[in-house]
Amino acid sequence: MRPGMYTEVWRIVWVGLFAFLFGWNLGYPLEVVLAGVGVYILWTFRIIAQLFNWIDKGMRGIPPETDGVWGEISDTLNRQRRRHRRTQEKMRKTINRVSRLTEALDEGILVLRSDLTIDWWNSSATNLLGLRSSDRGSAVMNLIRDPAFVEYIHRDEFIGSIELPSIIQPERLLKFSASGFGDNEIALVITDITRLKNLEQLRKEFVGNVSHELRTPLTVMRGYLETLQDMPANTASVEAAFGQMSEQVTRMQALADDLIMISRLEADSQEPALQTVDINGLLHSIVSEAQALSGGKHIITLDCKEEAVVQADGSDIRSALSNIIFNAVRHNPDGASITILVSQYQDFIDVSIRDDGVGIDPMEIPRLTERFYRGDNSRNSATGGTGLGLAIVKHSINRYGGRLMINSRLGHGAEFICRLPKERK
């Protein structure tokens, strides 16, 4: 039992005992006890009234001075009040800190209620979207009416982001990323990516222009080198020098061609021209070229019994598959087996190119599709690789919603799987 209860019980006992003894002396013990109980009840009601009055005033100031159970109750409420105030102060500081943080962000943040009406935004969102105080409570679709945004914001699950021109400055490009939180609320993050897009476009134009400009002088140099090599007066050392120069010019031409190809893939924002591509016929053609490249030094097997067709641009698919198959020939030793297997599924086709050659370190696999990345510099330099082949493969397949999967271990060969949707996604 709590101390306050002990005090209250003893108080009742003493009041009752005193009233009984006093009433016994007067000859009216029962009446005096009842009168004492009444006085105790009135005193209790007075304390309760003071306590409720203090509570109704927001528990400000000092609680009523009393002891017993009511004093303990008032002390407990007072401690809860102080604890609550400390919690409120912490929450207030946290909210102020978060508010300052969101105001310092360059990204705009928009909070939407479950019915897609605007609840809150930061100052960056005001600058990016031209928001006004009167917009609070209005539907976000009244502000951003682009059909792509309307479709995106109504999704059950937000995956990825969308890019749209600014509604107040069409020359600026904004990226919208949404995520759900709380009670079906949505946090919408708006980022100005105009500068990044301009730099990316500048980079693509630079790579494309430089690549095109390189082709003409390289072609002229190669032509003169071939002419000089055919002249009868050349000595062995001169022939060797011409051979090395010709080899390097050929590599530079291959690099320029690959740069032009990847620049075209990155810059081409239009839908590719779709046609029915016969994967089996395409692979037969590529394997014939691979066998000529191998010169009979590798065992190349093609397994494609069933008819396999996809809707795509044939040049993209040919570029992707030929890059992988030719790499398998160039980068594996004589006698290596290269197996090409076509597997049919309901919605896609897998083209697997597997070899039992030198293999690839698994740590390098995530970087293989990066431009100019070479997992083995000596091997690539010996075979004239540009470091762009698998980047071209990835871009070519991704244009159609496909995937490139790579499995390998050092000394255990490698497997490249091109997953091609039958219909463009």
Highest average pLDDT, of 17-31, 181-195, 215-229, comes from 181-195
* Distance from C-alpha of 33 to C-alpha of 17, rounded to nearest angstrom: 8
pLDDT top residue among 115 and 201: 115
- Asked if 129 and 146 count as a contact pair (C-beta separation under 8 A), the reply is no
105-192: CATH, from 2.30.30.30, 1.10.10.10, 3.30.450.20, 1.20.58.100: 3.30.450.20
Distance CA 289, CA 282 (A): 11
d(CA 402, CA 351): 11
Q: How many CB atoms lie within 10 A of CB 408?
A: 22
DSSP 359-403: ---GGGGGGTTSTT--S-HHHHHHHT--S-HHHHHHHHHHTTT-E
Q: What is the pLDDT of residues 199-227, one digit of tens each?
A: 676 666 666 666 666 666 667 777 767 77
**Lowest-pLDDT choice from 14-23, 56-65, 214-223, 378-387:** 378-387
Mean pLDDT of the chain: 79
Could you give the CA distance from residue 252 to residue 243 in angstroms, rounded to a whole number?
14
**64-78, 145-159, 216-230 — which is least confidently predicted?**
216-230
Side chain identity at 98, as an amino acid letter? V
What pLDDT score was predicted for residue 1? 56
User: What is the C-alpha to C-alpha distance for residues 180 and 156, in angstroms, rounded to an integer?
Assistant: 9
Q: Which CATH superfamily is domain 275-421 in?
A: Histidine kinase-like ATPase, C-terminal domain (3.30.565.10)
Share of the chain above pLDDT 70, in %: 81
Residue 117 pLDDT greater than 70, yes or no: yes
Domain ranges (residues) in the chain: 3-98, 105-192, 196-267, 275-421
pLDDT digits (tens, 9 = 90+) for 344-397: 888 889 999 999 988 888 888 888 877 666 665 434 444 555 667 788 788 788
Length of the chain: 425
Query: What local confidence, expressed as pLDDT, does residue 380 receive?
Result: 45
CATH of the domain spanning 196-267: 1.10.287.130
Cα separation, 425 vs 418, in Å, equals: 15
